[in-house]
Amino acid sequence: MQLKDINSFNESYRLQHLKALDYLKVSRNITDDQLLDIVQQLKTFQVAIPSWALGTGGTRFGRFSGAGEPGDLQQKIQDVGILHQLNRSSGAISLHIPWDTLSEDEIQTIREEAAQYEILFDAVNSNTFQDQEGQSLSYKFGSLCHVDKAVRNQAIAHMKEVIDQGQLVGSKSLTVWLSDGASFPGQLDFKEALQRVEESLREVYDYLPEDWQMFIEYKPYEPNFYSTVISDWGTSYLLAESLGPKAKTLVDLGHHLPNTNIEQIVATLIYKNKLAGFHFNDSKYGDDDLTVGALKPYQLFLIFCELVKGMKDNPSLSLAWMIDASHNIKDPLEDILQSVEAIMLAYAQALMVDYKALKETQLANDVTYAQEILQDAYRTDVRPVVAEARIQEGGAYDPLQYYRQYQLREQLIEKRGLYVKASGL
Ligand code: LRH
Ligand code: MN
Ligand code: MN
């Protein structure tokens, strides 16, 4: 769907926007050049959208299907096309195989559809946490950690196929998340399970094309509730370290036990050049997959401070940014617009921090002022600068408002019908 009238929509907000931008400059005492520099960095920032977030998610208690949701990959790309036209920061999609399996004759159409909306293909995700129809062996007791080599081989073959699929669309990385683990003490020999995962991952790693990377995601529990084989960043890191330079650790914000200091993990991984990137979401209890910034925007800001510092120290640092949030009750496109906005705001706030001054407070052990510097940036209303970056790129001043005013969901329902079962969660 090609969106109309974005410029005239923006025009109606022009005066209010310019005043807000001016106030920001004056209140933060920043020059036009400094503002321009921040806008420039925001303009190049792109967050990939996972194909599975475009339909309503669910919980183990049920799924309440939304309306006008995409029924196939082409429609999922069209949805990302809507998001990207509105915010100009959603220029990539991340596929999940087999939910998004492509046949040879579809490739051309899919690539053209994506190109039309300037959408790239981000990491491809494997799925060995569900049994698929017609699959000969079950993952009930694990995939890459399974005691039976035949099951491990099946999972390895699947991951190689995912790489093949990714190559067809131009992806450059494979994300591996395993649900492998145990629900009861005694069920699994920890050491042997990890060893089997390491050996299996090596077979997949050796299959990676020259310019590909492997992202290893960790998660402390669920669906296994006693232990998971790759439970934390340390385990992911040691696997990545043992596999080689193409393997890195992927941080999903929801995959931590309560109160974990995620920003410290991020700093450590950057230091060791082993940070792959992120799955952004938010949570109060566990892997809740809620809208980014819905609960802990300050944590998100602190994470971005580490990232901004990391990128300043090493301009070639290249990370994968992706949303991994999907819930049961909101319109998925509205939810994603909110998530991307929260990410951009945290990034913009982190760009406002005076890192030189922060360093001085650290060297002087001035704890009070170190805290002040961070909170001062965090408490700045950076919405005008994020909007400015978006407008300069041709996006909407207020994407959510445009989405509602132009009745985009209603238009999708008209095209696709009320209830469509999208493949995925
Ligand atoms: C696991 C996870 C992982 C998946 C996605 C569907 O909780 O976050 O990234 O592949 O959910
Ligand atoms: Mn994830
Ligand atoms: Mn998750």
Q: Which residues 6+ apart lie within 8 Å of 218 measured at CB? A: 228, 230, 231, 232, 233, 235, 236, 249, 250, 252, 255
What crossing angle do the helices spanning 297-313 and 355-363 adopt, rounded to 10°? 90
What's the rounded Cα separation, in Å, for the pair 183 and 336?
Answer: 33
Q: Model confidence over 340-356: pLDDT tens digits?
A: 999 999 999 999 999 99
Which pairs from 329-332 meet CB under 8 Å and 24+ separation?
329/56, 329/64, 330/291, 331/66, 331/409, 332/53, 332/54, 332/55, 332/56, 332/57, 332/66, 332/69, 332/79
**Cβ(360) to ligand 1 under 6 A?**
no
pLDDT at 362: 98
pLDDT at 47: 98
What's the rounded Cα separation, in Å, for the pair 143 and 146?
Answer: 5
Choose one of 159, 251, 279, 282 to mutate for the ligand 1 pocket test, by most ligand atoms within 8 angstroms of C-beta. Answer: 279
Domains of the chain: which residue ranges?
A: 6-416
Superfamily of domain 6-416: Divalent-metal-dependent TIM barrel enzymes (3.20.20.150)
CA of 317 to the centre of ligand 3 (A): 25
Which DSSP string do the residues of 212-256 spell out, in sequence order? -EEEEE--SSSSSSSEESS-SHHHHHHHHHHH-TTEEEEEETTSS
**Cβ(334) to ligand 1 under 6 A?**
no
In which element (H, E) is residue 190 found? helix 190-207
Q: Which residues 6+ apart lie within 8 Å of 340 measured at CB? A: 47, 83, 87, 89, 90, 292, 323
Indicate the residue type of 403. Y
Phi, psi of 182 (to 5 degrees): -135, 145
User: What is the pTM assigned to this prediction?
Assistant: 0.97
Choose one of 173, 177, 224, 280 to mutate for the ligand 1 pocket test, by most ligand atoms within 8 angstroms of C-beta. Answer: 177
**Cβ(279) to ligand 1 under 6 A?**
yes
pLDDT at 56: 87
**Cβ(252) to ligand 1 under 6 A?**
yes
What's the rounded Cα separation, in Å, for the pair 376 and 300?
Answer: 15
Q: Kindly provide the b/e burial profile for residues 347-381, where b requires at least 16 CB atoms within 10 angstroms of the residue's own CB.
A: bbbbbbbeeeebeebeeeeeeeebeebbebbbebe
Q: Kindly provide the b/e burial profile for residues 156-179, where b requires at least 16 CB atoms within 10 angstroms of the residue's own CB.
A: bebbbebbebbebbebbbbbbbbb
**Cβ(52) to ligand 1 under 6 A?**
yes
Q: Which residues 6+ apart lie within 8 Å of 253 measured at CB? A: 262, 278, 279, 280, 281, 282, 283, 292, 300, 303
Alpha carbon nearest to ligand 1 atom 10, residue: 177
pLDDT at 102: 84
Alpha carbon nearest to ligand 1 atom 5, residue: 324
pLDDT at 423: 55
Q: Is ipTM strictly over 0.95?
A: yes
The two tokens of residue 91 are 């220029």
CA of 97 to the centre of ligand 1 (A): 12
Q: Residue 62 carries which DSSP code? A: B
- SS3 per residue for 144-173: CCCCCHHHHHHHHHHHHHHHHHHHHHCCCE
Cα separation values, 397 from 265, 291, 349, 374, 383, Å: 35, 20, 18, 27, 10
Counting as low any pLDDT under 50, the low residues of the chain are none
Closest ligand relative to 177 C-alpha: 1
CA of 322 to the centre of ligand 2 (A): 9
**Cβ(301) to ligand 1 under 6 A?**
no
Please say whether the dihedral angle defined by the alpha carbons of residues 372, 378, 382 and 386, taken in this order, is positive or negative.
Answer: positive
Measured at the CA of 153, the angle between CA 207 and CA 143, to 5 degrees, comes to 105
pLDDT at 66: 85
pLDDT at 422: 58
CA of 278 to the centre of ligand 2 (A): 8
Cis preceding-peptide flag for 297 (omega within 30 of 0): no
pLDDT at 421: 63
Phi, psi of 244 (to 5 degrees): 135, 180
Closest ligand 1 atom to 289 CA: 8
**Cβ(288) to ligand 1 under 6 A?**
no
Q: Model confidence over 269-290: pLDDT tens digits?
A: 999 999 999 999 999 999 999 9
Q: Kindly provide the b/e burial profile for residues 387-398, where b requires at least 16 CB atoms within 10 angstroms of the residue's own CB.
A: bbbbbebebbbb
pLDDT at 328: 86
Closest ligand 1 atom to 254 CA: 8
**Which residue has tokens 């106030």?**
23
Longest dimension (CA), the chain: 67
CA of 422 to the centre of ligand 3 (A): 19
**Cβ(287) to ligand 1 under 6 A?**
yes
